[in-house]
Amino acid sequence: MGKPKKEKDIKTNAMRMLDRQKIAYTVNTYECEDFVDGVHIAQMLGQNEEQSYKTLVTKGKSGGYYVFVLPVARELDMKKAASAVGEKSVEMLHVKDINAVTGYIRGGCSPLGMKKQFPTVVDSSAESFDTIIISGGRLGSQIMLAPGDLVSVCGGSFADIVFEEAK
């Protein structure tokens, strides 16, 4: 098993970034050896899926990188996403490139504390919650914070970026 982690040992770049900005947040940790999708994590921890957000990184037609934060059970609408960042089109970043671009690994990618701050868009559904849950910057770590604080810290914006099923 190993020794329990000291609080300072689990600080990630995302948490240090929030600390520097004096933003209130709560950390939640759980056992997780490998990547598990956000829906399963929310269910495992008894959390509201609508309040649990995943971080997706895309590359625009121009070559720029963009970060999108949306509910774990929803799909990114590529047209809406491209429009939100002023690109002709965006495509998902390949899993093999996530670490090189962000400094994070799949399943532990936080919109905060990446190697470089990329333009970030948070789905407008987040505005209906007092707090949302995002990755803490490593597998088994979550950050709960106010959506407005997230947008403020990463210099991002809110927009409707989720794919809507045809009714």
CATH topology for 11-150 is: YbaK protein (3.90.960)
Please name the helix (run of DSSP H) or strand (run of DSSP E) that holds residue 91, with its range, or none.
Answer: strand 90-92
| Residue 76 in this model has a pLDDT that exceeds 80 | yes
Report the pLDDT value the prediction gives residue 160, as an integer from 0 to 100.
98
Q: Encode pLDDT of 24-66 as tens digits.
A: 999 999 988 776 789 999 999 999 999 999 999 999 999 999 9
Q: Rounded to 10 degrees, what is the CA torsion of 66, 67, 68, 72?
A: 140
Report the pLDDT value the prediction gives residue 77, as an integer from 0 to 100.
98
The label of the residue with tokens 């720029």 reads 64
Percent of the chain scoring above 70 in pLDDT: 93
| Residue 127 in this model has a pLDDT that exceeds 90 | yes
| Residue 126 in this model has a pLDDT that exceeds 90 | yes
| Residue 8 in this model has a pLDDT that exceeds 50 | no
Percent of the chain scoring above 90 in pLDDT: 85
Structure tokens at 51: 């309040």
Q: Encode pLDDT of 81-103 as tens digits.
A: 999 999 999 999 999 999 999 99
86: which DSSP letter? T
Q: At what angle do helices 147-154 and 13-20 cross, to 10 degrees?
A: 90
Report the pLDDT value the prediction gives residue 166, as an integer from 0 to 100.
66
Report the pLDDT value the prediction gives residue 93, as an integer from 0 to 100.
96
Report the pLDDT value the prediction gives residue 32, as an integer from 0 to 100.
82
| Residue 3 in this model has a pLDDT that exceeds 60 | no
Helical segments of the chain, H only: 13-20, 38-44, 78-84, 95-102, 147-154
Report the pLDDT value the prediction gives residue 158, as an integer from 0 to 100.
98
| Residue 167 in this model has a pLDDT that exceeds 70 | no
Structure tokens at 120: 């970030």
Cα–Cα nearest to 18, from 120, 151, 116: 151
In contact, 55 and 111? CB cutoff 8 Å: yes
User: Terminus-to-terminus CA distance in the chain, angstroms?
Assistant: 50
The label of the residue with tokens 């505005």 reads 127
Q: Distance between CA atoms of 140 and 105, rounded to whole angstroms? A: 12
Q: What is the mean pLDDT of the chain?
A: 92
Structure tokens at 108: 């532990």
